[in-house]
Amino acid sequence: MLAGDGIGPEIMTEARKVLEVVNASQNLGLELDEALVGGAAIDAFGTALPDDTFAKCADAEAILLGAVGGPKWDTLPPADRPEKAGLLEIRKRLDLFGNLRPAILYPQLAGASSLKPELVAGLDILIVRELTGGIYFGQPRGIRELENGEREGYNTYVYNESQIRRIAKVAFELAQKRGGRLCSVDKANVLEVTMLWREVVQDMAKDYPDVELSHMYVDNAAMQLVRAPKQFDVVVTGNMFGDILSDAAAMLTGSIGMLPSASLDVNGRGMYEPCHGSAPDIAGQGIANPLATILSVAMMLRYSCAEPQAAQLIEDAVSRVLDQGLRTADIYSEGCRKVSTSEMGDAVVAALTQG
């Protein structure tokens, strides 16, 4: 368990409460351990990913992460910051290339969505984001000085065929298990890297005759997500487009505080984290929504611990708490009861223990 920075420790405390209850009641036998990452690790050890922290991650069956980063560390050199030296480093070193970001609307939250209830009723989208390649990791990158004395920043957007194939395989297989529709999002009208992306994904479609494949440019996909989001079943896309589209999709479900994620390697070992960040604007106030992290625990039990029943118990408990009208500020609407981060965690625990 890597709590990280900002609201990270607050939401992680609640996730841990929930995990401990399920661990005991379902006899999961999980051993929990904690370590520092991100800004908290920089402050304590001078590095965002201490060797000891990485060793624990590499040893673990699964990793649960809160969030990293914040204004305090934003002035560090780019390569030393919590986001790159902590989070991206774990993703890369453990080869966690397959990022699943399910945007599901709990019916109780239809009123909290930024879209009209009829546009989001029954929403269940899965964004499959490539997580260890693309422009986030492409070389060369940097900021250089030009002959005329001005500086130039540059990054490289690159994907090779095997990187595209392995993420597309994850997406095709998940589409087979879900609604049978896969939309690959690219910018193949401009960028060669995504022309190759489209070609490779298209070529793989023949191996999945039961999946209906479509392609969409990312600008249109952003528009379609807020126009008619229910047209999507599974969306597969590269690292940066997936980052952006998943935050947009989050809002359809009421709040970014509701969106969990799984980041998996080829063997299904994974890191689990909410899609949101460390929310420095609300950190320390006890008002952050812990449900994205609690739902990430459920994903962890399902994908890395082979405990789908325990996962379901948590998801059902979250649903019951929403039925009771309990809401953190980000998902609050009139007639509901506003609760703090810890009250929300306690309510999920209560719903779990009351069955």
Binding residues for NAD(+): 70-83, 277-289
Rg (CA), the chain: 20
Residues forming contacts to ligand NAD in the complex (CB under 6 A) are 7, 11, 67-70, 83, 87, 256-257, 273, 276-282, 288-289, 292, 330
In the list 36, 88, 110, 128, the residue contacting ligand IPM (rule: CB under 6 A) is 88
Q: Which stretch binds ligand IPM (CB under 6 A): 33-41, 82-90, 118-126, 306-314?
A: 82-90
C-beta closer to ligand NAD: residue 83 or 186: 83
Per DSSP, what are the bridge partners of residue 186? Answer: 217
Q: Under DSSP, is residue 215 helix (H, G, I), strand (E, B) or coil?
A: strand
In this structure, what DSSP letter does residue 213 have? E
Tell which one of 5, 83, 315, 330 touches ligand IPM (CB under 6 A): 83
CA atoms within 13 A on the CB side of 96: 24
Q: Nearer Cβ to ligand NAD, position 70 or 133?
A: 70
Helix (H) or strand (E) holding 217: strand 212-217
Check residue 88 and report its DSSP letter: I
d(CA 136, CA 24): 40
Give least dist CB 278 to ligand NAD, A: 4
The H or E element containing residue 99 is strand 98-104
Say how far apart CA 348 and CA 313 lie, in whole Å: 10
Q: Which of residues 239-298 bind ligand IPM (CB under 6 A)?
A: 243, 275, 277
Catalytic residues: 136, 187, 219, 243, 247
Query: Would you say 172 or 272 has its CB closer to ligand NAD?
Result: 272
158 bridge partner residues = none
Give the nearest distance from C-beta 279 to ligand NAD in angstroms: 4
Q: Which of 10, 130, 243, 315 binds Mn ion (CB under 5 A)?
A: 243
Q: What is the DSSP string of 46-90?
A: SSSS-HHHHHHHHHSSEEEEEE---GGGTTS-GGGSIIIIIIIHH
* Residue 245 CB, nearest approach to Mn ion (Å): 10
Q: For ligand IPM, how many residues bind (rule: CB under 6 A)? A: 7
